[in-house]
Amino acid sequence: MGKKRDDLDRSMFLPWVAWTGIFAALFLILMSIFGVCRFIYRYTRLSEETFGMLIAVLFLQQAVVKKLYG
């Protein structure tokens, strides 16, 4: 998609990285100002369990594929 656009070349990489860093910095500053870390514990457990479920499903999928297709 980007290969067909002439205005997207190597000269745009560093400004894009810089703006991404600025956005991340502002986002983290706002998070620290509003004390978002008080709520992180609620979502850490959810993401941990979701990732564990993904790993389990992938192992089961591989086991089924090996059984069916040898």
Q: Phi and psi for 4 in degrees, rounded to 5? A: -85, -5
Per-residue model confidence (pLDDT) at position 24: 97
pTM: 0.49
For the segment 30-59, the average pLDDT, to the nearest whole number, is 88
- Concatenating the DSSP letter of every residue in 7-68 gives T-SGGGHHHHHHHHHHHHHHHHHHHHHTTGGGTHHHHHHHHHHHHHHHHHHHHHHHHHHHHH
Q: Contact, 14 vs 8, CB < 8 A?
A: no
pLDDT at position 47: 86
For 3-40, what is each residue's pLDDT tens digit?
Answer: 677 776 778 889 999 999 999 999 999 999 998 888 87
Q: Write out the two tokens for 52.
A: 């564990």
The pLDDT of residue 2 is 57
